[in-house]
Amino acid sequence: MAEEFKYSCNTASETLQWIHAIINFIAPYRYFLDAHVVNFFKDRLWEPVDKEWMDCLRKESVGNLLRIPSGVVQDHWPGSLKEFILTLRSLSLSREQADFQEFSGMHIASLNNVLAQGMNHKKKHEVEALSALVSLVAKQVGARTVVDVGAGQGYLAQVLAFDYQLSVIAIDACSHHGKITDARAERIRKHYAAKMRKNCSEQREFSVPKTVTCRVLSSDTLSALSNSPVENDHAGNQHLSQKCSVSQPSRLAEDILPSRSYSDSTLVIAGLHACGDLSVTMLRTFLECDKAKAVISVGCCYNLLSEEAIDIADSCCGFPVSQGVKSAGVMLDKNARDLACQSADRWRGLDEHAGLHNFELHALRAAFQIVLFRHYPNILLESPAIGRQGKALRRQQNQRILESNLHHGGPSESGEPRESVSFLHEYSSIQSSKNCKSRAVDGYSLFVKFCESGLGRLHLPHLEDTAYSAVWRESESYFELIGPYWSLRAALGSVLETLILLDRLLLLQEYDSDLEASLLPIFNPVLSPRNMAIIAKKIRK
């Protein structure tokens, strides 16, 4: 069974040991990592998987399949299958949200309605936790300035400025986001000023985020913003051309923190779900810029990481970044990086109906891939994306359900609308189609609609019914394998994300002994699956 050894990452050697354990374990399962589920039927992706595993899981309940990515096994499963799943669990970072009461001086305050305006529940949860953490770290390193990288519409920047009275520079590539940040900040400032006047309290200056529009392509970009002219608008905010030319990575503080505007010369770099390579750029800039005393990075979008230059010693790609992982010669490729974005907590949170629907959409899309392969092979060279047409079909179906219920007596005994029960059980209906011809017809009809919708999105002509029926006959007997296969593959997601995060942590640990670096799960993983923050501080006096 899986080792009871508890991996740790307190030092570079411990982190590297954990990384090597992951690399060695996943090596025999490249067929999972390299696979693209849309090719499930076309490439017969289930064939390399242990036949005993698939024979067992094809009979398993959907609920048990959905718990596989979380490391939950059943007693009656083969020993090798249980060992595979439990070892993956032992190699993965714990995602349970940290108990912030253990952090001296940290208090997560609930945002008022003005600051929270426009945020959904997920974003509010993230901003509340991260802003409190950034404020605490800034206090620990003696910094009063925060650079919010990939600031978006400025939610984090505004809370840091108005609630925590920090000087904040909000950097984003989108000028529209900068304008929204400025306008939103001005509304918040006016609200607080009016409240102070109403309460007859002493008027004070508010810390308002300064916006910088720049496409951050490298640590050089982030570190040398002043190589292009910066102009102050009427509100004092800075706007920089996206076509900036940059060179010296050590110039971040001088470039965006001119001494005439800021009283201190130290800063904290922070980012909430900075996309792809941007999270790595933050870490490199922190290491290269003397005035950056701390970094708090919560990454996302591993599928957008660059990997092209693994054989170049000073490569600035997004993965791998540490010398330890580079030396191991590890490559993930896009399909594996996509897989690293899976969320075991989200899988476990699905009910059986939603799980069935999820498997069904994968099966329909995989069968549609055969249609493209046989009748429009040239389009596959372009890696066609048909969007979320399965979800569009679901919305259309639900609208028909709603309209039908208004005229025909409401929901079924289960509480679901009558047609909704039928639709959500379409996948299980297909599995039972040998015993019920009408259910097979319903499943086939859904497949044809899916294909016609997909061809329409790709601007391709529809086919004769015989073309669809031929693919359907070949595929339907294997539909029951897609749930087990996709669940087993998804179980590797948390380990791949762990590898990516440990690689980033090791980059920091390799750099300097006068540096503290750690990984901390700061969000509820069900609300925010990308919940791991990398926190690093320079401790040299």
Q: In the prediction, which pLDDT does 417 show?
A: 31
Q: How far is CA 538 from CA 293, 401, 512, in A?
A: 5, 59, 9
* 302: nearest Cα among 276, 322, 336, 280: 276
Angle between helices 437-457 and 389-408 (to 10 degrees): 130
CA distance 199 to 180: 29
Q: In the prediction, which pLDDT does 204 show?
A: 63
For residue 176, with 0-12 CB atoms within 10 Å meaning exposed, 13-18 middle and 19 or more buried, which class applies? exposed
Pinpoint the alpha helices (H) of 3-68.
Answer: 12-26, 30-33, 51-57, 62-66
Q: How far is CA 100 from CA 96, 97, 107, 520, in A?
A: 12, 9, 8, 10
Q: In the Cβ-directed half-sphere of 337, how many Cα atoms lie within 13 Å?
A: 21
Could you write out the DSSP letters of every residue in 284-316? HHHHH-TTEEEEEEEEE-GGG---TTTTSTT--
CB 454 within 8 A of CB 369: no
Q: In the prediction, which pLDDT does 201 show?
A: 62
CA distance 331 to 336: 9
Within 8 A by CB and 6+ apart from 32, the residues are 49, 339, 488, 489, 492
Domain architecture of the chain: domains with CATH = 12-94+343-403+422-428+440-491 (no CATH), 104-228+265-304+511-538 (3.40.50.150)
Which residues, given as ranges, of the chain have pLDDT below 70? 1-5, 102-104, 196-204, 215-264, 308-315, 387-441, 540-541
Torsions phi, psi for 318 (to 5 deg): -80, -20
Q: How far is CA 464 from CA 231, 364, 443, in A?
A: 61, 18, 18
Q: Give the residue carrying structure tokens 């929901």.
A: 411
SS3 per-residue string spanning 356-391: HHHHHHHHHHHHHHHHHHHHCHHHHCCCCCCCCHHH
Q: In the prediction, which pLDDT does 249 show?
A: 33
CB 284 within 8 A of CB 246: no
3-state secondary structure of 532: strand
Q: Where is 82: in which H helix or E strand?
A: helix 79-91
CA distance 123 to 158: 13
CB 109 within 8 A of CB 128: yes
Alpha-carbon torsion (100, 105, 110, 111), positive or negative? negative
Bridge-based pairing state of the strands 267-275 and 292-300: parallel
Within 8 A by CB and 6+ apart from 502, the residues are 9, 15, 18, 19, 22, 93, 519
CA distance 291 to 259: 12
